[in-house]
Amino acid sequence: MYQLVSPINSSLQHNKPYMPVHFKGKPILAEKFKFPGDSGHLVNGTWEFGPLPTDFKMPYVGWWMSEKYDGVRALWNGHEFISRGGKVYHAPQWFKDEMPQSTGLDGEFFAGHEGFACVSGTVRHKVPIESDWQHVKFMAFDILHGECLNRPYAERYKWLQALIKKGHKTGATHIDLVKQHEITSMKQAYEFYKGVLRDGGEGVVIRDPHATYEQRRSCTLLKWKPVPEQEAKIVGYVEGKGRFKGMLGAFKAQMINDRTKKLEKKYFNLAGQISSDFRARYKFSQGKLVSGPGSTHPVIGDVVTYNYMSMTANGLPRQPVFLRIQHKK
């Protein structure tokens, strides 16, 4: 077990530890980085990118960038792991023993590139499966600890480096540091971004090294990642639940191979970010559609375009969002 000693006024060298402070606020959330070019798309499993826009001047030179890990966000409050929504993640005691005691951290549970399904399933068990947790790391990118929150990120990062280095010396192997890189030009940032995606990463996080920790969505923290689009065929409807009872809950969609444009034997529910007015065009009774939307909304047989976060291990889109009708039947 190890603790953070008070870093204010360079007192990392002092021996007096912080009094325990348990972070109970909201985590900082990132805005989208508005890159004017092609942020990348997959072609037969290979990332392809558009040219660097010649008329775009990088407004964030001097800011820092790091890989955006495709994992599960978690806050360590010094004693246990908490989700963004305030729920407890039940990690094994040996995993928690590797974390700094009484020191809050912000980070991501991570199980390697393309490991989202694995880590998501692992951390959501109320009774932890200890062998599965062996494959998980906590990638820390910030300190959530009392007066640290009001200090610039560059200072917090130095303290975080020292804290994790101290943990590694005590034998902690399931916690690691999210490495930061200073942005020197748009070209350098774009090459870094492309390299992250080609290595299997989700994207890049850009942050202001002078910013304090804001417990809300903040323009001092930006996420830069591609939003892949795909086509699917509408093959059915699912009635909504709760406040969407009697309306459309989701479309039943069949995947279309991006390369061959042929239908695949893979099906998923497509609903994300559909408005209540849109859903109300589809009227249900006892689970069956009794009134359709007319020609302006998708019906069975239409081909639609959607975007998604990434693919699951089963080859299905994660968090698919309906965008538009591509072709009418």
Looking at the structure, do residues 74 and 177 belong to the same domain, yes or no?
yes
Looking at the structure, do residues 163 and 254 belong to the same domain, yes or no?
no
Parallel, antiparallel or unpaired: strands 137-144 and 175-177: parallel
Residue 236 lies in a domain: yes
Q: How many other C-beta atoms lie within 10 A of the C-beta of residue 314?
A: 8
263 has which bridge partners?
256
Coil, strand, or helix at residue 29? strand
What's the pLDDT at 261?
85
Residue 74 contacts residue 108 (beta carbons within 8 Å)? yes
What's the pLDDT at 129?
96
Looking at the structure, do residues 158 and 243 belong to the same domain, yes or no?
no
Residue 190 lies in a domain: no
Domain CATH number, residue 73: 3.30.470.30
Looking at the structure, do residues 240 and 155 belong to the same domain, yes or no?
no
What's the pLDDT at 13?
39
Residue 28 lies in a domain: no
Rounded to whole angstroms, how far apart are CA atoms 139 and 205?
14
Domain CATH number, residue 291: 2.40.50.140
What's the pLDDT at 5?
52
Rounded to whole angstroms, how far apart are CA atoms 257 and 261?
5
Residue 218 contacts residue 28 (beta carbons within 8 Å)? yes
Residue 206 contacts residue 60 (beta carbons within 8 Å)? yes
Coil, strand, or helix at residue 145? coil
Looking at the structure, do residues 171 and 78 belong to the same domain, yes or no?
yes
Domain total for the chain? 2
Residue 24 lies in a domain: no
Tell me which residue of 19, 327, 60 sits closest to 147, measured CA to CA.
19
Angle at 238 between CA 237 and CA 241, to 5 degrees: 150
Looking at the structure, do residues 161 and 241 belong to the same domain, yes or no?
no
Looking at the structure, do residues 253 and 173 belong to the same domain, yes or no?
no
Residue 147 lies in a domain: yes
What is the value of pTM for the model shown?
0.76
Residue 246 contacts residue 238 (beta carbons within 8 Å)? no
Rounded to whole angstroms, how far apart are CA atoms 239 and 324?
20
pLDDT tens, residue by residue, 205-218: 999 999 999 999 99
Looking at the structure, do residues 169 and 255 belong to the same domain, yes or no?
no
Residue 251 lies in a domain: yes
Tell me which residue of 203, 201, 251, 202 sits closest to 231, measured CA to CA.
251
What's the pLDDT at 25?
73
Those residues of the chain that have pLDDT short of 70 are 1-24, 44, 329
65 has which bridge partners?
181, 206
Looking at the structure, do residues 176 and 91 belong to the same domain, yes or no?
yes
3-state secondary structure 162-199: HHHHHHHHCCCCCEEECCCEECCCHHHHHHHHHHHHHC
By the 10 Å C-beta count (0-12 exposed, 13-18 middle, 19+ buried), 166 is classed as: middle
Last residue of a domain, one of 156, 181, 206: 181
Q: How far is CA 144 from the centre of its chain?
A: 19
Last residue of a domain, one of 120, 152, 181: 181
Residue 37 lies in a domain: no
Looking at the structure, do residues 164 and 77 belong to the same domain, yes or no?
yes
Domain that holds residue 95: 8-12+67-181
Looking at the structure, do residues 165 and 104 belong to the same domain, yes or no?
yes
Coil, strand, or helix at residue 211? coil
Parallel, antiparallel or unpaired: strands 29-32 and 181-182: unpaired
Reported as type and span, the H/E element at residue 278 is helix 276-280
Residue 100 lies in a domain: yes
Looking at the structure, do residues 93 and 161 belong to the same domain, yes or no?
yes
